[in-house]
Structure 1
């Protein structure tokens, strides 16, 4: 089974990443899905989304959980029945899960030049230190997007906007970490963030400080 990477963030928090190489049938075969999960995966029009959904269930098994241990709230945020926190992501041939005893978020994004065309929709503060002429501009933007997406998953609060409410402090790609702030409803929240790059993908995850 292609468990691609395991990361121990701290004693209570871990990240696992899956490389999705198996066929839909091979992914489905060993799983015991709840009826609503079966219905959900069958309703997906894209096989890549189906395989992403199923690969996440394999990652749950790596953590010692099953599909029966996972449920979603009215905002679509995943939860674990034992009270631990979970966040889920999948993008093309990779999926990822983070589990912790505190609120967390994770995101995987493919590094693509077209992100530069939508940068103005999700960055503002960050324009002070980003350089569009830099050879790492696409990678830098992808880190920022993945961090902000992770923050959004952590809070799952309607009304939050990437551009207005999330700030990513300047970082160096080789450091693989930075700090991000949420400024929302007159309150500020500081989060530790980390990111890794592999095969033209970026994975970021966030935990509260």
Structure 2
């Protein structure tokens, strides 16, 4: 069982990260899935996506839940039947789940050079302090994306613009946290976001 890391963020909140090393069959074997979950898995053309989906169910088990405890609302946001808050992410060979008594969001992304190509779509203010010649440039872009994505999942207002509604203040990779703001309907919401790096990936998690 490659449970890669467990983070006790606070007394109400836990993050668990899974490193996906098993085959599809190994992941599937101990699981019991709802009919619609099984349909989703069988409908996925990519085995990478199938394994990501199944690894999330293993993380649920690590929290003491099953696939039957998880459901999604009309916006695609996951919920747990016991009322706890949950957020889910997977990227390539890592997945993560965060469970809390309060609203939360989590995101994992792989460090890839091509993030530079789409940076203008999710960054505005942050360009003021980012330097392309910085050795940490790709890592910082990835961290900013993860921070904004985790906040998007927490805030859960469909269509909110990463570029125009989310602002991440200057940070260093070694800080492993930063402050971010959401500007929505003439109100500003402040959050402290934590992030960590491992094996060429960044994971960020937001807690209300």
TM-score, length of structure 2 as denominator length: 0.98
Write the distance in 1 (CA, Å) between the matches of 2:83 and 2:199.
Answer: 34
Shift of 1:29: 0.7
Write the distance in 1 (CA, Å) between the matches of 2:70 and 2:78.
Answer: 7
Aligned residue for 1:145? Answer: 145
Matches within 5 A, 1:79-118: 79-118=79-118
Shift of 1:133: 1.1
Aligned residue for 1:27? Answer: 27
Write the distance in 2 (CA, Å) between the matches of 1:130 and 1:167.
Answer: 13
CA RMSD in angstroms comes to 0.7
Write the distance in 1 (CA, Å) between the matches of 2:22 and 2:69.
Answer: 23
Write the distance in 1 (CA, Å) between the matches of 2:168 and 2:199.
Answer: 23
Instruction: State the number of aligned residues.
Output: 208
Q: Aligned with 1:178: secondary structure?
A: strand
Write the distance in 1 (CA, Å) between the matches of 2:93 and 2:51.
Answer: 9
Aligned residue for 2:55? Answer: 55
Structure 1 window deviating more from structure 2 (89-98 vs 126-135): it is 126-135
Give structure 1 regions of 4+ aligned residues with deviation exceeding 3 angstroms: none
Structure 1 alignment gaps of length 5 or more: none
Deviations 1:107-138, CA, capped at 9 Å, x for gaps: 00000111111111111111111111101100
Write the distance in 2 (CA, Å) between the matches of 1:176 and 1:136.
Answer: 13
Write the distance in 2 (CA, Å) between the matches of 1:113 and 1:81.
Answer: 40
Aligned residue for 1:191? Answer: 191
Write the distance in 1 (CA, Å) between the matches of 2:156 and 2:57.
Answer: 21
Deviations 1:160-181, CA, capped at 9 Å, x for gaps: 0000000111111111001111
Write the distance in 1 (CA, Å) between the matches of 2:158 and 2:53.
Answer: 24
Write the distance in 2 (CA, Å) between the matches of 1:102 and 1:191.
Answer: 13
